[in-house]
Amino acid sequence: MKRHQSFLLHIRPQTFDAESVCFANTYYLGFFSVFFLVLECVTGAVLMVYYVPTPEAAYESIVRLGTEVAFGAMIRDLHRLGGECMIVVLLLHMLRIFIAGSYRGQFAFTWVTGVLLLVCTLGLAFSGYLLPWDQLAYWAVTIGTSMVDTIPGIGVDLAILLRGGLEFGEDGLLRFYLLHIVVLPLLALVLLSVHYYRVARLHGIAPPLSPKSPTDREKEKRRLFPDRLLLDLTLSMSTLAVLVVVVTAFYDAPLEHHADPRHTPAHTRAPWFFLWLQGALKLGDSFAMGVVFPLLSLLGLLVLPYLDRRPRQPLRQRPLALPLLVAGLLLFAGLSVLGLPRYGVDVNPVAALLEEVAPEEGRSALRSLRFDTLRQGVYEIDGPFRAQSDDDFALWLARLGQATARLGRHGYAEPRCVVVVEDWQAELKRVTVRIHWLDGSEVRQPTSAEKVIYLHRATVEPVVSGKESGA
């Protein structure tokens, strides 16, 4: 064997069992997991050149990426989308392993390293979520770390150690940055090395449960050069091309207003991969559902191969596996739906309507209107509002009037809406949405609540303010 080939062939075997590496058996999920990890490392290294991990400069550095740096927005979008895709691929990879029963016996410790890699990936996503230092990320991570406070005895000290103080500031941002770029990537690299070595050199990829004999399998081999190498390159280039098209035409990494520790948003939503945890928190005590429940779930996954020691069998022949799988998927989906802001939380109907009309973060129907259709004036809506089909603003007023009328179902007497559009400055309009109603007291005192939003022709993110008053 040539010297220059020794190390590579130590990492990758010279031949592969064709049946074990076919698409129908693996769906290439292991390959895509490594691909997205490499993509995250490359795009993350580029982002590090421009990112400044201080509360004063972090947000501005992200804005600069999207406005001044060539292809900066695309790199950030690729980094964000790649991280989310990596979580999806890892979950599907573990699901495939569970269905195939390839977590038992000699595969047990490999399964454990895979579970720990998933935890490490979630940690990378959580730590990276704070780094843009925008309002939504700041409060989502603040609420997420507050669960540590509930641990008896050491919770408060651990939370201060994690946040760098009673609340997130410069020390906390720097700690999350170091976790994201140093500690967790090194841990992921160690786990991936162990995981990959066991798969490539110790036991290989588990073959499908097929009627073929070992002798037949030995006759069907695939070589590392050029078969597998060309396949890996083709998959990598094709996937990268698809991701570039997606982030160019369809996907934008979110960036809300600058983080404000003094103002809590109306709805603080966890990222989709932690919605299940946010949903669990709505069902019980923060310590029980936010700390004990996730740890018990993790422990169950880690000990699964050591509790289930039976030989590999198809899923239909494992009487407990299918109900356990269905129950787990339903629980994950149910808790994720419950984690959405509109479920499980009592919200003032008027406040919810104003937040829907002019949200502090994210997009809204008002923001999507054509700027020139926002005609200056006072619009009183106390019943059906007639609108022409080609008038976006009038149609929006009509829908707002219908939503206001529905407040009567919640006990609001005589609800009506007033919208004031003002030409505030050049290319800047101020839109005030005010809801009036009679309260439930014997005096039937008039009450109102309003939301103000400033819209500029050339900007995407307006500045929002709001207040409620008793007339």
Say yes or no: 230 and 276 in one domain: yes
Partners of 222 in beta bridges: 16
What is the reported pLDDT for 20? 65
Alpha-carbon distance of 59 to 52, in angstroms, equals: 9
418-444 residue pLDDT tens: 999 999 888 889 999 999 998 766 667
Quick check: 313 pLDDT over 90?
A: no
261-281 residue pLDDT tens: 887 776 677 889 999 999 999
The pLDDT of 200-215, averaged and rounded, is 70
* pTM score over 0.85: no
CATH classification of the domain holding 54: 1.20.810.10
Number of structural domains (the chain) is: 2
210-221 residue pLDDT tens: 655 554 544 567
Backbone angles phi, psi at 285, to 5 degrees: -60, 145
Asked whether residue 4 is domain-assigned, the answer is no
Q: What is the mean pLDDT of the chain?
A: 85
What is the reported pLDDT for 1? 43
The better pLDDT of the pair 277, 399 is held by: 277
What is the reported pLDDT for 327? 94
Alpha-carbon distance of 419 to 467, in angstroms, equals: 15
Where residue 382 falls among pLDDT bands split at 50, 70, 90? low
Taking each helix axis from N to C terminus, what angle separates 29-50 and 58-67, rounded to the nearest 10 degrees? 100
Say yes or no: 76 and 152 in one domain: yes
Quick check: 301 pLDDT over 50?
A: yes
Q: Is the peptide bond before 208 cis (omega within 30 degrees of 0)?
A: no
Say yes or no: 357 and 331 in one domain: no
Of 1-15, 47-61, 369-383, 448-462, highest mean pLDDT: 47-61
Asked whether residue 320 is domain-assigned, the answer is yes
The better pLDDT of the pair 421, 459 is held by: 421
The pLDDT of 7-25, averaged and rounded, is 68
Say yes or no: 255 and 116 in one domain: yes
Alpha-carbon distance of 72 to 74, in angstroms, equals: 5
Say yes or no: 224 and 331 in one domain: yes
The better pLDDT of the pair 254, 204 is held by: 254
What is the reported pLDDT for 460? 41
Quick check: 72 pLDDT over 90?
A: yes
Please give the helix or strand (H or E) that residue 420 lies within, else none. Answer: strand 413-425
What does R_g of the chain's alpha carbons equal in angstroms?
27
Asked whether residue 291 is domain-assigned, the answer is yes
Quick check: 458 pLDDT over 70?
A: no
Question: N- to C-terminal Cα distance for the chain?
Answer: 89
Say yes or no: 267 and 396 in one domain: no
Say yes or no: 298 and 360 in one domain: no
Say yes or no: 334 and 376 in one domain: no
CA 392 to chain centre: 32
Say yes or no: 309 and 414 in one domain: no
Tell me if 98 sits within 8 A of 29, measured CB to CB. no
Say yes or no: 301 and 407 in one domain: no
Alpha-carbon distance of 56 to 401, in angstroms, equals: 42
Quick check: 463 pLDDT over 60?
A: no
Domain region containing 151: 10-338
